[in-house]
Structure 1
Amino acid sequence: MLSYILQAIVLGRFAKTASVEGDTWTHSTFQWGPCDPTIVENPSISCSFFDIPLDYHDRSAGTGRIAVAKVHATAQRFGTLFINPGGPGESGLAALDRLGSTASGLAGGHCDIVSWDPRGVGPLTIPGDIQCFNSDEEYNTFWNGTIELTGIEMTGNFTNPEDIEALLSQAPIMQKKYEELGERCLRQPSGRYLKYVGTAATVRDMVAMADVLDGPTAPLNFAGLSYGTVLGAWFINMFPERVGRVVLDGVVDPTFLATEETSSFFPKQLVDADKVYDALVTACALSGPEGCAAATQGQTPADVDANVQTLLQRAHDAARKNSSVPITSADIRKQLFAAVYSPAEWASFVNVSYPEVVATVDAESSDNAGVRGALRARKRQVNDSKTYGGLAIACGDSVDRRGTKMINVFNDIISSSRARSHLFTSVWPNVFNYCPFWPVRAVERYQGPFDKKLANKVLVLSNTYDPVTPLADARALSKLLGDYGALIQLDGFGHTTSEPSQCLYEIVSVYFANGTLPEGNSTICEVDADYEVFAGVNTAAILAALPSLSARSAFSR
């Protein structure tokens, strides 16, 4: 606790202390000032603290504090726009710092843009980072010899009997480890806060901030990405009368998340993931070796895919012979998964990261023991311990435990690798796979309904091909919204609508200006033609080449 107080003193801005009188909560005010420069570097951003009750329904639980950042409106101020960058577990302060002063353009400069580190996130919010290990050594010792550090080794669509046996043999080990992890987290100083970490409490924190910044009856404006759409869906249904301008981009189906175990959630989300990978290798083939180092002259998309699959197989085989190799097929799939999130990163991945991976796998297959040893040492150094705030949020929101065993989780991974995404279902660890074994649920969870009548209409955004929040989820939410929302589909790739589109920009701008949405429940926008993923290759060209490939979903199946 002392460290949080010291960091707050360094930040230099405490909010006025909140007080509890009977059942009446007096919220703190904001005292904006300079931000902690280790978190927010942009000097134009102001920061403050905001005091909160740990439990809005039991004030005797005590108080906490959230760290908040703001970009000031650049035009006539009409209110505040709250943003959540996703996760769960991403820092809102760091996200606002990345956006910089351009953030005010999200609402035409007419809103202060406010983001915050939610409960369970960051070193300044209380409850902040959820710590379960005291050192890197403790973390590595606890997970040593498990897939938590090595990932899951497999190739193809998980039909190799040796791969299946290797995974299933870890089921009792990993179940015990995950159960022990929960107990370990509870014993840490941050453990007492676990039941107060979750989306419902974060919704109430946001509404409480809006009460102070704009007034207790003012419409609340919100933009949420990815997990932020869960926060948004809960907000508009917990406080339908407070809905102002709300944009949800990269949508998670709230009904599924509220009713099903999270271990079944992740495989469901990957229904379009391999199609985005198809798009990446298609773009690479269209560009050729001049723009994409993963291709050689005259190669088709299927040829580029074969290059990747051969690399995965070689890394897999090397790891089977020596578990200490520096790069495994599991590592490569993680890198691929990160790459498909953003088309803007595809060129960097194939021209910088991919050649490095190829060189490393080549070294694994050679007799150069010195190179292998150096690479192994480098790999060991990156196994740092981590915080578990995202896990605490996801599992705090999850349905009650239903007796699911790790063997069930593993069998779902194997079957989904064949039915949905052969490349990415086996990516491990995954925050959602902890929840069947997590010992704590949040003291408040919102589990529906998700079709409330709203004070204002909501704008829902989705790419045609999103690797982790599929278009189907956006359509599900749009159906729940009915006349209170509209879906805008950007005909492109990646997680959230990051590719530039004048069509989309105009729709969002008009919506923020006057609340107007396009006619009908669904509109399709194109990515701007001058935006090139690789030199000479735009999104329209990739889409034109993709249909002949989509029937196979991913080439190697």
Structure 2
Amino acid sequence: MTCSLTRDGLDWHQAAVGTVEWYSKCTEPGSLPEAECGHIIVPLDYFNASAGTAKIALSRYKATKDPSKGSVFVNPANERASGPGIPGTPLAYRVGPRIQRIATGEDYDIVGFDPRGIGRTEPTVNCFGTAESKEAFIRNTVLERGYQVAPESSLIDAREHLIHQMGEADALYRTQMALCAQRMGNVLGYLGTSSVVRDIDFMTRVLDGDEALIKYWGGSYGSILGQYLVNMSVFAGLNSHSDILINTVKRRLPDRVGRVVIDGIASVELWTSVPPYKEHRQWLSSAEDTYQLFLSGCSEAGPSQCPLVEYTNEDPNAIQRRLENWMESLFDKPLAVNNSTRPGILTEGQARSFIFETLEQPISWVPRSRDIFNAMNGDGAAILNTPSYGINGVGDLWRSGVSCNDQVKFPKPDPRDVVDEALYVMKHVSRFVMSIFTIEPDSGCEYWPVTPSERYAGPWNKTLRNPILIHSNTADPITPIVSGSRINELLGDSARLAIQDGPGHCSVTLPSACTVNITRAYFNDGTLPPEGHICQVDAKPFDIGKDYQSYSAAELELLEDVKHLSETLANLRAGRL
């Protein structure tokens, strides 16, 4: 397999499949001087060479220890929401050495890439034309305000009010999908996880050699990508026009698996087989556990670290009642906010979503508890100034380009059924369920204007050449441990579950030397932890920011690596990078 450089100024559409270009340096803000940025030309359709090509944006932070063991492809292990739509190139050019230290070791190249339709990869999903147009479309709609849940004390029927809001959201979804059809057309069908998996296989062979095994580290949606990766089959062969393609030799991806680590496990079975509103019972099955850990941690920390408490060791139930009463009060009387970057109002839906987002990122519990306290006392500027992810998150409809191609095609759900399911989840699973409709914006795919060129839907229990490593937290509010246990069960001897005893979305939300050592040992020589092994965290959420005089230099370095990586991922998801 050959790897060639393009000439400066050459139109990438004219470059041959398999062409790689590394630029002289990365020009993005915050880029490490040692990092490389570039792109690779891949087939737009791996089964139809005449469809054209795509240009996948790449970044690389090379191994600092010889000899290099090859490329580890990384996808954002995103602790702020579980879905796709995030560029991956910053992981190499901004935090490559930190990933080496806490995951792979220094003898692997860290390779970030922007998946199809996302970031600097071309073609890019661009349904609105400009970011300003998208912002104007969402402004002051239910997608920005969040769903408002009427409290029991209200004279408004909560069910009927939610059904009314569902109708508004439905019209918005229908409109934005029509915009996608007008602007993007059939190219939308070449996105989706199945195509991204083929890109990873293709890029591995180009960068590391035709017989190289695939190495991968990803979390959240990246765990779905990893589950596709180890279960799909791929066709690859030769083509007289490009020297690389497509359809003559069958290659089983399970036989191509080298070292694969997935973290913050989302259920790939639900992702591919049911409408999004039916996923929430499982998605939120650990959310209340995380909420209670937030409340009890706040109580133990006391007012200096968590001003939501009136005194140290206050009853967590009292803190919860104040929070719930405050959020309910915003239903009838939203908070006017005139001192934020973009003045507006703080609604019940926005406040609850902010608290749920806080649960996902325990490293933020100290500063965010202050933001919540300030809002409860009349100053909501910090909350409105914090970009929400989800529907208002980074990019155009980047997430829809993935999730709508991955979902099974289903008829438009009856809004009454959607609301009834949500009310059941609210009562029996988690009170945060309505936040998920905007934080995890996968609704409206019944209006997606194209049929994907390929959609893989299982099976998910293949026997692998090398076992994979699965990380899952005991109190992950959005990708619960039951999902990690399920994929471990499906893969059997081809996987091993490593549990981290702590809150947050993905293991990288809190430092754990135990988790780091397990991951590095696995990447080093394939060593797996014992069955049932549980790692503890080395810092509690409300300890972050305290004076660490008792910590060793190594522990402080680990804490800083995890904190920096966590903040980078959060900024990526919010569109700040």
Normalising by structure 2, we get a TM-score of 0.80
The reply on whether 1:213 has 2:223 as its aligned counterpart is no
1:419-434 counterparts in 2 under 5 A? Answer: 419-429=428-438, 430-434=440-444
Classify the secondary structure of the residue corresponding to 1:432.
coil
Q: Is the 8 A contact 1:263 1:435 kept in 2?
A: no
Q: Is the 8 A contact 2:488 2:495 kept in 1?
A: yes
For residue 107 of structure 2, what is the amino acid of its counterpart? H
Classify the secondary structure of the residue corresponding to 1:256.
helix
Report the Cα offset of residue 531 of structure 1: 7.7
Residue 355 of structure 1 corresponds to 373
Once structures 1 and 2 are overlaid, which stretch shifts more, 125-134 or 494-503? 125-134
Classify the secondary structure of the residue corresponding to 1:464.
strand
The reply on whether 1:118 has 2:115 as its aligned counterpart is yes
Report the Cα offset of residue 487 of structure 1: 0.3
Residue 240 of structure 1 corresponds to 254
Q: 1:281 aligns with which of 295, 301, 320?
A: 295
Report the Cα offset of residue 414 of structure 1: 2.3
**Relative to 1, partners in 2 of residues 1:135 and 1:511: Cα closer, same or farther, differing over 3 Å?**
closer
Write the deviation string for residues 253-279 of structure 1: whole angstroms up to 9, x where unpaired.
Answer: 222222222232245301111221111
Give the distance between the partners of 1:377 and 1:527, measured in 2 at CA.
Answer: 31
For residue 477 of structure 2, what is the amino acid of its counterpart? P
1:135-146 counterparts in 2 under 5 A? Answer: 136=132, 140=136, 142-143=137-138, 146=141
Give the fraction of aligned pairs with identical amino acids, expressed as a percent. Answer: 28
Residue 510 of structure 1 corresponds to 521
The reply on whether 1:67 has 2:78 as its aligned counterpart is no
Give the distance between the partners of 1:157 and 1:394, measured in 2 at CA.
Answer: 35
Residue 41 of structure 1 corresponds to 31
Residue 28 of structure 1 corresponds to 19
Report the Cα offset of residue 443 of structure 1: 1.2
The reply on whether 1:329 has 2:343 as its aligned counterpart is no
Once structures 1 and 2 are overlaid, which stretch shifts more, 307-316 or 158-167? 158-167
For residue 177 of structure 2, what is the amino acid of its counterpart? G
Give the distance between the partners of 1:378 and 1:506, measured in 2 at CA.
Answer: 34
Residue 409 of structure 2 corresponds to 400
Q: Is the 8 A contact 2:86 2:394 kept in 1?
A: no
Residue 265 of structure 1 corresponds to 279
> What number of residue pairs does the alignment pair up?
504
**Relative to 1, partners in 2 of residues 1:296 and 1:378: Cα closer, same or farther, differing over 3 Å?**
closer
Give the distance between the partners of 2:310 and 2:10, measured in 1 at CA.
Answer: 57
Give the distance between the partners of 1:354 and 1:514, measured in 2 at CA.
Answer: 45
The reply on whether 1:183 has 2:178 as its aligned counterpart is yes
**Relative to 1, partners in 2 of residues 1:446 and 1:136: Cα closer, same or farther, differing over 3 Å?**
same
For residue 376 of structure 2, what is the amino acid of its counterpart? V
Residue 526 of structure 1 corresponds to 536
The reply on whether 1:250 has 2:264 as its aligned counterpart is yes
Give the distance between the partners of 2:96 and 2:133, measured in 1 at CA.
Answer: 36
| Runs of 5+ unmatched residues, structure 2 | 1-5, 233-252, 338-342, 549-577
Report the Cα offset of residue 93 of structure 1: 1.4
Q: Is the 8 A contact 2:57 2:121 kept in 1?
A: yes
Q: Is the 8 A contact 1:70 1:114 kept in 2?
A: yes
Q: 1:453 aligns with which of 455, 463, 473?
A: 463
Residue 223 of structure 1 corresponds to 217
Give the distance between the partners of 1:33 and 1:360, measured in 2 at CA.
Answer: 51
Give the distance between the partners of 1:119 and 1:187, measured in 2 at CA.
Answer: 19
Q: Is the 8 A contact 2:147 2:165 kept in 1?
A: no
Give the distance between the partners of 2:22 and 2:380, measured in 1 at CA.
Answer: 57
For residue 316 of structure 1, what is the amino acid of its counterpart? F
Q: Is the 8 A contact 1:395 1:440 kept in 2?
A: no
Report the Cα offset of residue 186 of structure 1: 1.0
**Relative to 1, partners in 2 of residues 1:285 and 1:175: Cα closer, same or farther, differing over 3 Å?**
same
**Relative to 1, partners in 2 of residues 1:17 and 1:222: Cα closer, same or farther, differing over 3 Å?**
farther
1:488-507 counterparts in 2 under 5 A? Answer: 488-498=498-508, 499-507=510-518
Q: Is the 8 A contact 2:297 2:541 kept in 1?
A: no
**Relative to 1, partners in 2 of residues 1:30 and 1:138: Cα closer, same or farther, differing over 3 Å?**
closer
Write the deviation string for residues 500-523 of structure 1: whole angstroms up to 9, x where unpaired.
Answer: 222222211211111121233x32
Report the Cα offset of residue 172 of structure 1: 3.4
For residue 213 of structure 1, what is the amino acid of its counterpart? L
For residue 232 of structure 1, what is the amino acid of its counterpart? G
Write the deviation string for residues 460-498 of structure 1: whole angstroms up to 9, x where unpaired.
Answer: 000001011000000000001101110011011100002
Classify the secondary structure of the residue corresponding to 1:326.
strand
**Relative to 1, partners in 2 of residues 1:119 and 1:297: Cα closer, same or farther, differing over 3 Å?**
same
Q: Is the 8 A contact 2:220 2:506 kept in 1?
A: yes
For residue 91 of structure 2, what is the amino acid of its counterpart? A
Write the deviation string for residues 101-135 of structure 1: whole angstroms up to 9, x where unpaired.
Answer: 3233332111100010111111x211224333546
The reply on whether 1:310 has 2:318 as its aligned counterpart is no
Give the distance between the partners of 1:529 and 1:266, measured in 2 at CA.
Answer: 30
Residue 542 of structure 1 corresponds to none
For residue 321 of structure 2, what is the amino acid of its counterpart? A
Q: Is the 8 A contact 1:333 1:424 kept in 2?
A: no
Report the Cα offset of residue 290 of structure 1: 2.1
**Relative to 1, partners in 2 of residues 1:172 and 1:333: Cα closer, same or farther, differing over 3 Å?**
closer
Give the distance between the partners of 2:188 and 2:363, measured in 1 at CA.
Answer: 37
Give the distance between the partners of 2:7 and 2:307, measured in 1 at CA.
Answer: 50
The reply on whether 1:92 has 2:88 as its aligned counterpart is yes
The reply on whether 1:167 has 2:162 as its aligned counterpart is yes
Write the deviation string for residues 394-440 of structure 1: whole angstroms up to 9, x where unpaired.
Answer: 11100012342334323322222112111343444232222233333
Give the distance between the partners of 1:513 and 1:224, measured in 2 at CA.
Answer: 17
